[in-house]
Structure 1
Amino acid sequence: MFVGHALLAFAVAALVADWRGWEPRRALFVGSVAGAFAAIPDIDVAYALVGLLEWQLGDGALGASAAFWDASRGVHRSVTHSLVVAAVAAPAFGLLAVRGSSRRPRLARSVGIAVLAALVAIALVWDGPVGALVTGLFAVSGWVVARAIAHRSTLSPAAVAVAALWGLWSHPWGDLVTGSPPDWFFPFGSPVLESRVVLHADPTLHLLGAFAIELATIWFALAVVCRLTDRSILAAVDRRAGVGAAYGVAALAVTPPTLAVSYHFVFSILAVGIICGAIRETPTATAASVSRRDRPELETLLEVGVTALAAVTVALAAFGAVYLVAIAP
């Protein structure tokens, strides 16, 4: 769901900005800002790298992934996923986006840094050194994004704060179907939504449903990009996406995937999409010159990306249909 977090925040922010009358390029930019902030909470998985230190080469690739995620359980979706922390951090990130070198801008940035430092201190008291570490990574990541925006755009600090708040607040909801729920109100108790939302009692169908939600989010973001750039998303889909239907036979050949063991499914279905999107007919010299003249690089990339996504979508539908008919209890 890492990609879905950022793309959901991006799509909604860009649509709202467009609805408010912003010029399309600016609307897409503010959407990108929201998406960047929406990706920041998952910086807490950096701590899970310590799990790899305990991994033995003989354990294999699955052993490495298990060690990684086992180490993440104590800290992932905790401090950095808190709605309370987001409400405090977002204005601080806005202050860090203040431009200028006079006394007032420097004071504003200093206040933002002080607020983030206070969050790290609170995490240290409530959650110990590991909580403070990931909160520090969270704060530094937000600082990098805010300063990059200040240097490369004219987006106001208030707009940065709002985009940051939306991005950070939108993030935790995507975790409800894929893992343990986030610590919604850290450092306070979180008495709501304390368990994972189960889409289906069959663990494989639950995984397929979660994967479908991720795909729908990506389609939503692509639709927003096409809308704001006056492109047709359907016209970008090449017929080779239909090859993804052949992936249905994989349901008969592999161990049914679940959230606990899904790597073989995820990697293989993404490979189908990449192959369908990247492999294209070799154009003749004349056709190639026409392509270079009439089809900008962005158009080509859009076709590849949309075709790959369509192939994955077709593959998911085929896999699900075969599983329901031939395997599901």
Structure 2
Amino acid sequence: MFVGHALLAFGLATLVADWRGWSARRALTLGLVAGAFAAIPDADMIYTVVALDVSRLSADTLRQPSVFWDASRAIHRSITHSLLISLAAGPAFGAWAAGTSTSRGWLAVRAVASVILLSLIWAAWVYSGLAGAIVVGTFVAAGLVIARLARTRTDLSGLTIALVATAGLLSHPWGDLVTGDPPRLLYPLDLHVFEQTVLLHTDPTVHLLGAFALELAVIWLAALAIARVSGRPLRALFERRALIGAVYGVAAIVLTPPTLEVSYHFVFTILGLGLLVGVFSITANPVTRLLRQQSRLRRHSLARQDAGSLRRSWLTPVSIDLDRFLERYPSPFEAAFAALGGVTVALCSYGAVYVLVVG
């Protein structure tokens, strides 16, 4: 879900900017800034470095990842995932970044923003001790770096950065509702909007497949946003080689059914299959076919010449229609869509076999 948080904000911000008539470059810039802000609430994972019991780490940790996650549960998805914290931090990040001038007005704006951000760190200290202060301090530092880069390296205004920072932060917690302990949406208030994980299905494996499907949908949203602003036709994004993913249905019979607690064997294998589909879509094989085409043309030329012109014939340039070649074979961009399509087909295949045969 770490990637999904950023891509959800990226896709939505890019599409909104495109709807508002922004250029492709500005729309993608806005999306990147939104995605960056949407990722920083997970800066609270820094607490794991302090809380993790290193003595428990072993080869079994990969099979029992609770060793890692248990160390993060005291802080993760609490302070930095709060909607109240986001509503305070987002505008403060934008206001702090907007103060590029040394005038009294801008210095006052930056001072107010600094007071708000320092207050968040102080509040975290009061409610969660030193661990909370470290987590929120890391969160604030990351936000300030992103805000400053957005202000100095793009043409986005301080107000725009404030809005997109707030939107990015507010978009983060919702993907966590189905993947473990629910976030503390109203921290520091002692109110719990969601007491437990939102179940998509009572079967833990089907629930995991549903959560994975939601993540995949978010990635598709980001991919389609890029395709739209770059003017690529949607029909060109669907690669027939993605159907190779259908063979992954066999994994539902062979692999141990995955759950939220133990899912790495499922995640790594299905993503590996998608990667192979993407690589195959490129190397199926434009370079090899081009070389073979050149070789055939040369052999044909040689057959029509006598032995005396043999040496000279290899110097004869071969005419290749580059535009036709690029239209026929996929670019890395299109290969990424092929990989994404392969994962989607694989997920559908796995789900169908699991429900109809295993379940």
Q: Could you state the TM-score of these two structures normalised by the residue count of structure 1?
A: 0.92
Inter-CA distance 128–209: structure 2 relative to 1 (3 Å threshold):
same
When the two structures are aligned, how many residues end up with a matched partner? Answer: 325
1:192 aligns with 2:223: no
Q: Secondary structure at the match of 1:79?
A: coil
1:1-329 alignment, distance < 5 Å: 1-50=1-50, 51=52, 53-57=54-58, 59-63=60-64, 65-98=65-98, 100-103=100-103, 104-279=105-280, 280-282=283-285, 283=287, 284-285=290-291, 295=326, 300-328=331-359
Tell me if structure 2 keeps the 8 A contact 1:248–1:318: yes
Instruction: Provide the C-alpha distance between the structure 2 equivalents of 1:262 and 1:58, rounded to a whole number of angstroms.
Output: 16
**Percent of aligned positions with the same letter in both sequences?**
48
SS in 2 for 1:54: helix
Aligned mates of 1:263, 1:16 — CA distance in 2: 35
Deviation at 1:96, TM superposition (A): 2.2
Partner of residue 298, structure 2:
none
Residue aligned with 2:181, SS? coil
Alpha carbons of 1:105 and 1:264: their partners in 2 closer, same or farther (altered >3 Å)?
same
Report deviation, 1:182. Answer: 0.7
What residue identity is the alignment partner of 2:32?
S
Which whole-Å CA distance do the structure 2 matches of 1:3 and 1:292 have between them? 35
Unaligned runs of 5+ residues in structure 1 are none
Q: State the SS of the aligned residue for 1:72.
A: coil
Provide Cα deviations, 1:207-251, integer angstroms capped at 9, x if missing partner.
000100111111111111111111023313332211111111011
Report the Cα distance in structure 2 between the residues aligned to 1:59 and 1:72, rounded to whole angstroms: 18
Give, in whole Å, the separation in 2 of the partners of 1:68 and 1:292: 51
3-state SS in 2 of match to 1:235: helix
- For residues 172 and 55 of structure 1, do their structure 2 counterparts lie closer, same or farther at Cα, with a shift above 3 Å needed? same
Post-superposition offset of 1:295: 4.4
Q: Deviations over 1:171-201 (max 9, x none)?
A: 1111111111111111112232222111111
CA drift of 1:106 comes to: 3.9
TM-score by length of 2: 0.85
Task: Give, in whole Å, the separation in 2 of the partners of 1:153 and 1:91.
Answer: 18
**1:292 Cα offset (Å):** 8.6
Tell me if structure 1 keeps the 8 A contact 2:124–2:136. yes
Q: Is the Cα contact below 8 Å between 1:81 and 1:172 reproduced in 2?
A: yes
Deviation string 1:34-86 (CA, Å, 9 cap, x unpaired) is: 111111111111222342623333545335x3321110111110000000000
Q: Counterparts of 1:290 and 1:170 in 2: how far apart (Å)?
A: 47
Instruction: Compare CA radii of gyration and give the structure with the larger one.
Output: 2
CA contact (8 A) 1:233 1:306 kept: no
Moved more, 238-247 or 79-88: 238-247
Q: CA deviation at 1:105?
A: 3.3
